[in-house]
A and B are shown apart, each in its own frame.
Chain A
Amino acid sequence: MPGKPGNRHNSTFGVVAARTALALLFGAGLFLSVTPAGRATARTAFLVAAVISASQPAPLNLLEEPVRHIQKTVPSRGGTVYLDIYEPATPAPPLSRALEGIVIIPGVGDNRNVPQLINLSLALAHVGIVVENITTPTLMHNDISAVDSDAVVQAFNFLSRWPGVGADRIGIGGFSGGGTLAYLAAADTRIRDRISFIVLFGAYFNAETVLRAYGQRAIIVDGKLVPWYPTQYPLQVLANVMSDGLPPLDGSLLVSAFIPGGKPLTSNKLAQMSPPAVAAYHLLEGDEPGRVHENMAALSPQLHALLNTLSPSSVINKVHAPIYLLHSRDDSSLPITESQAFAAALARIHRPYDFVEFGIFQHVEVATGHSLTQILGDALTLFRVLYKVLLPGS
């Protein structure tokens, strides 16, 4: 019995819709599993979801490679390097290429147990990247030393010999103050031609301009000086850094003012200190914003040299790998103007780089309470950068 014209029309529409759905599913499945662009898309989408949500997306747990966590140590010029390695627990399948690796310097301090770092490491390992988080005794003591760039070199060499990892498929990621060590290591002739990429997130370009911003408690945005107030921790770190270039008594007084619970130095204590130490104190304390220029000039040549050796700007043209700069717009540890200056300097010397700004991060960690529009906007930006990083290895 012939059906009504309306039913026939619905039936035809249903068939077309089902066939279209099947064609799309076939294309999507083939694209995501077979083509490099598709594989990079799948891995990036998973990573973005894991980073933005600061957790492993539960439905996707099913798809993940199981991960193994191993702790190792290697010697370096600055002391023992502590390595936390996260890798896929299963061997690389026959049709996939050698695994990618990334050496991550997750900032100053001992960040090995920070949940968001563990989440990121697991997410990277789940998509087939061997992650090597490193820390050193100096970093654990809330300090940065240029000699620790050797720790990054040793960690890089260690990862390049790791079973299953392609020696030419290893990148370096530096977060916050770890970005400095990442960049200094990337300029090291022992490894610079073997690094496939560098990601610097919330890093600084020049330690002196950071100190200047701390002293002014202001940064220049669109040509205007706007108030900017740093959190306590970077002041503590910079006090530790600068104490290395000061006489012991000056150094210990400076450090004492910026440890958690430390009090501003009295005029009696300041009178005991050398002029460079007093200038360093006022710059960090931010109590003489109108005398920043004079205080910078009062720093000793040793302090200027120390700050220069801890600045990526000093070796900007010695890095060959593509550079990805990521920075939070409202970063209250290291101002976004640092990455902007970094990007401008890289553009001037025609080095390959990409620079993106985010609104949902506070320094290098995902913050809560953002609108869906902002989350989606930043997710797309993050996707674009991570896709570029992951594509060559896919």
Chain B
Amino acid sequence: MLALSCFWLLLGLLVGLLAVLAKFWPSSWGRKKWPAMLSIGALAAFCGGWLGTLLLGRFFASSVALWIAVLCVVVLPRLFVWVQQKHRSLFPRGTHSSK
């Protein structure tokens, strides 16, 4: 499973790379886009692969890793931006304090 896990990580990195080329990163990420997108892709593929193994078996795990990685690199950055905006609208600058 170690080799397979490494394969999923590589697969995720490739998906993350494609997501950078596809400009799926939020403009606010700037220079952090490369490490962020590659990390999302790799982590999602890794988790997807293990989830696929548990639910569908090892033979189909890589397919699960693939589509979960793509889903995550497309959805997570948008979700991140949406959460940030929601957070700002709920707590405008200066109003968010620990008290």
* Given A30-B67, A33-B64, A65:B57 Cβ within 8 A: yes
Q: Tell whether A63 is near chain B: CB-to-CB under 8 Å.
A: yes
Contacts of B58 in A (CB 8 A): 63-66, 90
Which residue of B15, B52, B61 is within 8 Å of A25 (Cβ)? B15
Q: How far is the CA of A3 from the CA of B15 in the complex (A)?
A: 27
Residue of A nearest to B21 (CB): A18
Considering only residues 52-66 of chain B, those with a C-beta below 8 Å from chain A are 52-66
Q: Which of A93-101, A104-112, A225-233, A379-387 contacts B (4 or more CB under 8 A)?
A: A93-101
Segment among B26-34, B68-76, B80-88 that sits at the interface with chain A: B68-76
Q: Chain A binding site: helix, strand, loop or mixed by DSSP?
A: helix
B55 touches A95 (CB 8 A): yes
Q: Are B22 and A19 in contact, with the CB atoms below 8 A?
A: yes
Interface size on A, residues (CB 8 A): 34
- Chain B positions within 8 Å of A30 at CB level: 63, 67
**From A43, which residue of chain B is reached at the shortest CB distance?**
B59
> Which of B57, B64, B68, B70 meets A96, CB within 8 Å?
B57
Contact A26-B63, Cβ < 8 Å, known A95-B55, A96-B57: no
CB-based contact A63/B59 at 8 Å: yes
Q: How far is the CA of A69 from the CA of B68 in the complex (A)?
A: 34
A166 to chain B, nearest CB (A): 15
Closest chain-A Cβ to B14's Cβ sits at a distance in Å of 9
Pick the 8 closest A-B CB pairs, nearest first: A29-B67, A29-B66, A33-B63, A18-B22, A18-B21, A26-B70, A32-B63, A19-B22
Question: Can you name 24 A-B residue pairings with CB atoms under 8 Å?
Answer: A14-B21, A18-B21, A21-B22, A22-B15, A25-B70, A26-B67, A29-B64, A32-B63, A33-B60, A33-B64, A38-B63, A39-B60, A42-B60, A42-B63, A62-B4, A62-B7, A64-B58, A64-B59, A88-B57, A92-B57, A95-B56, A96-B56, A128-B57, A128-B59
Interface residues of A (CB under 8 A from B): 14-15, 17-19, 21-22, 25-26, 28-30, 32-33, 38-39, 42-43, 46, 62-66, 88, 90, 92-96, 126-128
